[in-house]
Amino acid sequence: MLIGELSRRTGVSERLLRYYERAELIHSERRANGYRDYPDEAVETVRRIRALLAAGLPTRVIRRLLPCTADGATLRPCPGVLDHLRAQLHTLDHRAADLARARALLRRTITATENAAPLE
């Protein structure tokens, strides 16, 4: 299928599909006229990529995990899969803690500002 059809079937822009190809997440053959020709399974592959991106995984990790995907949210136990997932969870936990601290500081600042005497 041509890139426009893949885009229509997945809801992913042609530009992003080209990026996925450069990142070696999807693959196409070139027709005689130079157009990209994607296999039918590219639709499901793009859906898996989107699910893994939504889980916060970077494309460099997704490239390693894609061969292990069974469906959009399930991974087969390929070597290194759990290590990558645990590392990403650890990263997200740290980000969440940082955001919680920033949120608490912002709440304290708002409360202090609300309770402060107005400038005259």
CA distances from 40 to 9, 15, 28, 35, 54 (A): 10, 19, 11, 16, 23
Tell me the per-residue pLDDT of 38-86, one tens digit each, with 9 for 90 and over.
999 999 999 999 988 998 888 988 898 888 876 555 667 778 778 888 8
Which domain range does residue 46 map to?
3-115
Residue 35 has pLDDT above 80, yes or no: yes
pLDDT at 119: 73
What percent of the chain clears pLDDT 90, i.e. is strictly above it?
Answer: 61
Whether residue 120 lies inside any domain: the answer is: no
The pLDDT value recorded for residue 106 is 97
pLDDT by residue (tens digit) across 89-98?
A: 898 899 999 9
- pLDDT recorded at residue 60: 87
User: How does residue 87 score in pLDDT terms, banded at 50, 70 and 90?
Assistant: confident
Query: What pLDDT sits at residue 113?
Result: 92
Task: Indicate which CATH number applies to the domain containing 77.
Answer: 1.10.1660.10
Q: How many domains does the chain have?
A: 1
Decide if 36 is inside a domain: yes
Integer CA distances (angstroms), 5 to 12, 41, 86, 91, 100, in order: 10, 13, 36, 36, 43
Whether residue 2 has pLDDT greater than 60: yes
